[in-house]
Amino acid sequence: MGPLWIALGAAAAGGIALAAIFAAARSRRERRRAALRAAPFPDEWRRIIEGTTPLYRRIPPELKRELHGHMHVFLAEKKFVGCRGRTIDDEVRLTIAAQACVLLLNRPPRYYPTLDEIFVHPTSYVRTSRVASDEFGPALGDLIEEEDSFAGESWERGGVVLAWDEVLESGYGDGYNVVLHEFAHQLDQGGEGAHAMERDFADWARVFQEEYSRFKKAVRRGKRTAMDEYGATDPAEFFAVATEHFFETPGRMRAKHPELYKALRDYYRLDPAAWD
Residues near Zn ion (CB under 5 A) are: 237, 240
Pick the closer one to Zn ion by CB: 49 or 163.
163
Q: Give me the least distance between CB of 150 and Zn ion, in Å please.
A: 10
Q: Where are the beta strands (DSSP E) in the chain?
A: 79-82, 115-121, 125-132, 143-150, 152-154, 158-163
Minimum gap (Å) between residue 240 Cβ and Zn ion? 5
> In the complex with Zn ion, which residue's Cβ is closer, 184 or 207?
184
Q: Least distance (Å) from Zn ion to the CB of residue 231?
A: 9
Q: Which residue is nearest to Zn ion (CB)?
A: 240
Residues 6 or more apart in contact with residue 89 via CB below 8 angstroms: none
Q: Are 123 and 81 in contact (CB under 8 A)?
A: no
179 vs 244: CA distance, rounded Å: 9
Nearer to Zn ion, 49 or 177 (CB): 177
**Cα distances (angstroms) measured from residue 213 to each of 159, 180, 235:** 30, 23, 10
The strand pairing partners of 147, in sequence order, are 128
Distance of alpha carbon 155 from alpha carbon 185, whole angstroms = 9
DSSP 87-125: ---HHHHHHHHHHHHHTTTTS-----TTEEEEEEESS-E
Between 155 and 275, CB nearer to Zn ion:
155
End-to-end Cα separation, the chain, in angstroms: 71
DSSP assignment, residue 62? Answer: H
- In whole angstroms, the minimum distance from the beta carbon of 106 to Zn ion comes to 24
Minimum separation from the CB atom of position 184 to Zn ion (A): 8
Rounded to the nearest whole angstrom, what is the least distance from the CB of residue 245 to Zn ion in the complex? 13
**Of 73 and 197, which has the nearer Cβ to Zn ion?**
197
The CB-of-237 to Zn ion minimum distance in angstroms stands at 5
Which residues are 120's β-sheet partners?
82, 162
Beta carbon nearer to Zn ion, 72 or 99? 99
Four-point Cα dihedral 148, 169, 101, 253, nearest 10: -90
DSSP SS3 for 80: strand
Rank residues 53 and 189 by Cβ distance to Zn ion and give the closer one: 189
Helical packing angle, 90-102 and 178-189, nearest 10°:
60
The least CB distance from residue 233 to Zn ion, in Å, is 8
Question: Nearer Cβ to Zn ion, position 69 or 175?
Answer: 175
